[in-house]
Structure formats: C-alpha cells, structure tokens
Amino acid sequence: MKRTLGLILMLVLVVVAVVPVAAAPDPQIGINVVLNTDITDAALEDLSAFGRVVDVMEDLNALTMKVKSSRLADIRSLSFVAGANPDATRQGSPIDTVAATDFADGLSTWNLDAINVTDFGFGNRQVAQDGTGVYVAVLDTGLMDSWRRYFPEERIAVEYARSFGGGGGERGTVSTQPNKWEHDVNGHGMHVTSTILGYDLGGTPINGVAPMATIIPVKVLNQNGSGWSSVIARGIEYIGDLKAGPLADCPVVINMSLGGSALDAIEKAAIDYAIEQGVIIVASAGNSGTGGMGYPGAYEPVISVAAAGWAGQWLDGSWWYGINVPDPGNPAQYYIVDFSSRQLAGQDLDVTAPGSWIVGPYQLNCGMKNSYYFLSGTSMASPHVAGTVALMAQKNPALTAADAESILEATALYMAPGTQTVYSPYGYPVTYEWGADATGAGLVDAAAALAATP
C-alpha cells in the first residue's frame, strides 16, 4: 500500500530498456500484523513458524515480520490475528536564528483570511486564541537544516523531535535515527509547518494559524518524500506515548500530510491507540481526484481535509500577502481543485481548507539562501485544520477528537456542488467542477469553530 505526500509535483520519467528478469516465485516481503490479544511468547513462537519477527509494538498489540509472500494467507487465518498486510509505502551547519518569538502580529495571507484566523494587514488576529500550550506533531519529512532561519527556536520542541526509519521488511526493525529530523532535504515538512506557525520572510513576520503552538517534528518519510506504514505507525505510537506520559496535561494534535490507497492494519491500530490517549489527528484527503481518498485520512476517526482555492487570488495583481478576502465568507468565491480527492463509498471526508497556491518556506537544496514557493495539494490544506484544532484545544484542553470533528463540520461554510472559472497565476482561465463528494461539510471557519467550542 503506497503512501504519497499530499502535494502536486511534476515528474519527468525517462524510460530505459532493460532485459526482462523472471520474478521470484515466492519472494520475501515485509508484513504488518495486528493481534486481537496481547502479545505473548506463545503467539510470537507460533508466528515464528511462518517467518522472522523483526519488530514488536506492544502498545498496539502489533508487530512486523519478514515472510515468504505465500505465508501471508496462513498468518491471516490464525485465530489470534486481527489483521495482516504487506507493509505499505507512503508518499509525501551553524545557522542564523529568527529573533521574533512568535508571528501573531505578522502579515496576513489570503489563506488565513479565508478561514477567518486573520484579516488584511498587520495586527490582524480575528480570534483570541493563538495555540499557546498546545503541541502539534507534524509527521512528515522533518525540517531542513535552515529551519531556525524561518521559525523561532522556542516554537520547535527539539526535546521531543524524532526520526523513524526502516520499514518495508527490507531493513528489519523500524529504527530511531538521532537528529535526522532536522536534516531533511525534501522541504515538504518545512512548508507544512509554516502554515501552522507562520514564518520569517526576510525580517517580516508572516502569521500562522496557531503561531504560539509548539511543533513536534517527527520524520516518518525519507529524503525523497516516501515511507512505510510501519514507520508512520511508529511515529503515531510515539506521539500517543508522549500524550500518555510527559504531555498528559497538554493538548496534542497530529498533522499528517500524506496518504495512500488503503488503510494499513498497523496504521489503524496506531491511530486508535493515539486517539484513546487523547490525541486529535488531522490528515490530508489525498490528491487522486475522482480516484478516491487516501488513507489514513479516509479512516473515520481522522479529521480529513480536502483542498480549495479562492477565485480572487490572481485577479488584481496584488502580492499574496496583500490580498484581502471579503468578509463574511461567501462560498461562491471558492472552488475545489481538480486534484483534491473525492469521497468514495466507505470513506469519510470531513472538511475543506485552502490548498491551492499556498506560499511558504521551501528549499530545493540545502543551501543557505532562504526561498519561498507556492505549493498546491491537500498537504497544504491539512495544516490549516490542524492549526485550527490547536486553537480549539487551547480554549478547551479537554477537547476530544470526536468533539473537534463535530464542531468543525457543524460550523464549516457549506460549499454546494458547482463549477468555477478562475484565472491561473499564468493569466489564462481554468474551469473547475466538483460535486457533493468533494467538499465534506465545507470550508473550515476557525472563528466560528472557536465560538462553538465550549
């Protein structure tokens, strides 16, 4: 099962002729196994008859194995096995420090204005909350070496930051990789984090949805932006353990801007475990359009997010930080982008947030020059909602995942099925069309959600 970053990228593929090689008749594969009982020595001994157990996750009653592919059906038939599947891939030096401690008084951007967190200009916060006291774990590619040039050090929980690697049955057990979380070369996690916190733009502060939240960077995707379900499960379990331990008295939110075609058993177990500890999980809906939502976003307990754009973004030639989105919100001003995944039968799409042409820090290399890019994808939409949930959890630290989802859906700006012709940044018109399966409850309204949060 493949997981992809919720980000639209253009790739050029070079086809190289190769000599066909016969596939192995019964190759070894890495699998994830979830038990319906506690992990015992007897269960491990029984499983060892089918292959090698390489990693055990006791909190999840789960483990990973290397087995011949033909043995998967035998393992699934064991009475104490709740689920088993092949491990799934998932797609998505000294430096200066930002002087500001937060960006709550920074410039607004159209996307924050659209969800009613800010309004035009400086000193623009439209809500009383700023995320103080809330931890937001960003399970992604990690941060780049240059992160201190974009974010205040005080906002990054370096003591809890982690990197997990391995997975897929190729390298055995999932491992912890010290300090690798801040040596990303992909940039995806940096851009996602910037929507939550805000960022420094050459000395000018740019606002974030929850600029005083504390980010826990958890690297679960490798340097090309892909990874494995078993590794992601380790990251989710780790945050659940933090919530059950040192962060027991603090609200904790997870953002996952990643996804794939089916829900992995071990990933499901990790999500259930973290939510049971009190963690609220937000994830991108995916970029497969009419092909359906990605997982884990489509899993019902997760708050899933589709991607919208604003029709006025490119009309008057204003810079992205100089655009004033009219209030009150008018659904006729917004559209659902064609790549945003639609909900299929059995899937759960909750809400929509800005995910088209969102500006943030994004470096194409590890150089020392700051750079910023427009990116589009449900990856960009998800942190708008994770940040909004952080504001809600600041107001009510006892907020549950089910309560947060219910409030967000009840207060969202309904977007009816329709079509919208908008101008692209290149000056030509583009027409988008969407149905009721594309929007969930509608566009998130942070101010309304906070007003409804007890």
- 370 vs 7 pLDDT, higher one: 370
Pairing of strands 303-310, 51-57: unpaired
Is 80 exceeded by the pLDDT of residue 70?
yes
Q: Report domain 28-86's class.
A: alpha beta
Is 70 exceeded by the pLDDT of residue 340?
yes
Q: What does the pLDDT read at residue 113?
A: 95
DSSP state of 180: G
Tokens 């006791």 appear where?
58
Lowest mean pLDDT among 54-58, 86-90, 277-281: 86-90
- Cα–Cα dist 386/396, whole Å: 15
- The 3-state DSSP class for residue 63 equals strand
Q: Could you tell me the two tokens for 368?
A: 């020392």
Cis check for the bond before 296: say yes or no (omega within 30 of 0): yes
Q: Which residues of 243-257 are buried (b: 16+ CB within 10 A; e: fewer)?
A: bbeebeeebbbbbbb
User: Can you give the pTM of this predicted structure?
Assistant: 0.88
- 224 vs 134 pLDDT, higher one: 134
Tokens 């997760």 appear where?
302
How wide is the angle at C-alpha 409 spanned by C-alphas 407 and 410, nearest 5°?
A: 65
Summarize the confidence of residues 405-419 as an average pLDDT: 97
Is 90 exceeded by the pLDDT of residue 58?
yes
Q: Find out whether 31 and 169 touch, Cβ atoms under 8 Å.
A: yes
Q: What is the pLDDT of residues 189-209, one digit of tens each?
A: 999 999 999 999 988 999 999
102 is catalytic: no
Q: Find out whether 192 and 256 touch, Cβ atoms under 8 Å.
A: no
Is 70 exceeded by the pLDDT of residue 171?
no
Q: Find out whether 216 and 246 touch, Cβ atoms under 8 Å.
A: no
Q: What does the pLDDT read at residue 421?
A: 95
- The fold adopted by the segment(s) 92-452 is Rossmann fold (3.40.50)
The catalytically annotated residue of 130, 140, 200, 264 is 140
The catalytically annotated residue of 379, 382, 384, 445 is 379
Q: What does the pLDDT read at residue 371?
A: 86
Arithmetic mean of pLDDT over the chain? 89
Pinpoint the residues of the chain covered by CATH 3.30.70.80.
28-86
Q: Find out whether 197 and 106 touch, Cβ atoms under 8 Å.
A: no
327 is catalytic: no
Q: What does the pLDDT read at residue 223?
A: 83
Q: Find out whether 444 and 408 touch, Cβ atoms under 8 Å.
A: yes
341 is catalytic: no
Tokens 């070496």 appear where?
145
Q: What is the pLDDT of residues 276-315, one digit of tens each?
A: 999 999 999 999 999 999 999 999 999 999 999 999 998 8
CA 240 to chain centre: 16
The catalytically annotated residue of 188, 257, 284, 376 is 188
Pinpoint the residues of the chain covered by CATH 3.40.50.200.
92-452
**Number of continuous H segments (helices) and E segments (strands) in the chain:** 9, 23
